A and B are shown apart, each in its own frame.
Chain A
Amino acid sequence: MSRNDVLVTVDWVQEHLGDPGIVLVEVDEDASAYDGGHLEGAVKVDWKQDLQDPLRRDYIDKAGFEALLSARGIGNDDTVVLYGGNNNWFAAYAYWYFKIYGHRDVKLMDGGRKKWELDGRPLSKDTVERPATQYKAGEPDFSIRAFRDEVVSSIGKANLVDVRSPDEFSGKILAPAHLPQEQSQRPGHVPSAINIPWSKAANEDGTFKSDEQLAALYAEQGFDDSLPTIAYCRIGERSSHTWFVLQELLGKSNVKNYDGSWVEYGSLVGVPIEK
């Protein structure tokens, strides 16, 4: 796996708009972004309504993923190109899902919506309809997903990478600052975690930094290549961005995303916390 297998540029996407066998998927937290204009031919996935279990706190199960992709007209053999707002946080989260359920060929558009918009590239308000498919998902791949017990048992034994901002890591604020700070769980971080904010892996236009810059970033922060790695943030989407960097761009092995993240960990009774 290397950068060219998992990442495409906005130029590449613009040249391949409408190509058969390539499905563009916009993944947003704010569904109105898509409705206000999307890449031509792109289908919409709402990270919450479409990707979360409506009842339990969990992602959608295999049947749910199959139903979603079938309804969006995505086939098992299609090349899926994901992009979205928030510097591709939610697109990276969806990418991790596609890997969980074993999709063969999935890529991120480097820079996401932001890069596309800042370049002044064309957006469409046309309704996109694709014929339904019979998508078959694989069994979930838990080798890239961490659960809370594993996080606790990994304290001091793995690279625990907290990708939130320094102020969230230190417990000064509880959520990214575009959100109300009303959560009731305890602030802080998992003991022994290193704070490497997701934003250090990205340029201001939302594109990823070069492989050389990324490799240097993690090495400088004390990342130990001989250890397994768990990335976490608040709800698991920013850490998907870092999971993508570590496993897909840098090719590090044994990297998991802890999607329970601080919202779960900071609410657990009896677990150690540092501030």
Chain B
Amino acid sequence: MCAAPKQGNTLIEVGNQTVIQGQVWHDGAPVAGAYVRLLDSTDEFTAEVVTSPEGEFRFFAAPGEWKLRSLAQVGKGERVLAAEVGLNETTLVIE
């Protein structure tokens, strides 16, 4: 399914997956309902999710360079990260 699974930091089986997860923040609080997209090293869209009520997002990627970009009513945020096999946690701040 290309469905967007429920976002949230419930315990998941990471195994040999490369998981990128975290929260979107703005003005000292998590942002619910923000659109977060994962872009590959060429800036091409790979996936997009909507953050949970706690502002959480999660992607199942592959090791390498990725860019996270968030789009919400309050504005935009962006961050680059190098992911490795396992859990990669990050915070995306909308200034």
Contact = CB atoms under 8 A, between A and B. Distances in A.
A165 B44 contact: yes
A79 interface: no
Interface in B19-61: 20, 33, 35, 37-38, 40, 42, 44-50, 58-61
A178 B40 contact: no
Interface in A77-127: 85-87, 89, 114, 117-118, 120
A48 interface: yes
A269 interface: no
A235 B44 contact: no
Given A180-B17, A199-B45, 4 more contacts: A114-B35, A118-B71, A178-B59, A204-B37
B17 A181 contact: yes
A238 interface: yes
Nearest to B66: A177
Given A120-B73, A178-B59, A178-B60, A85 B1 contact: no
Interface string B64-75: 000000011100
A150 interface: no
B48 A48 contact: no
A32 B73 CA distance: 21
A177 B47 contact: yes
Contacts of A120: 73
B87 interface: no
B74 to A, nearest CB: 10
Interface string A173-191: 1011111110000000000
Contacts of B40: 165-167
Nearest to A119: B73
B5 A179 contact: yes
Interface residues of A, number: 35
A165 B1 contact: no
Contacts of A117: 33, 73
A47 B4 CA distance: 12
B11 interface: no
A123 B75 CA distance: 20
B1 A48 contact: yes
A87 B35 CA distance: 11
Contacts of A86: 2, 4, 48
A205 B42 CA distance: 20
Given A114-B35, A179-B60, A197 B2 contact: no
Interface string A41-63: 00000011000000000000000
Contacts of B50: 33, 85
B62 A235 contact: no
A172 B62 contact: yes
B71 A176 contact: no
B61 to A, nearest CB: 5
A89 B62 CA distance: 23
A29 B60 contact: no
Contacts of A274: none
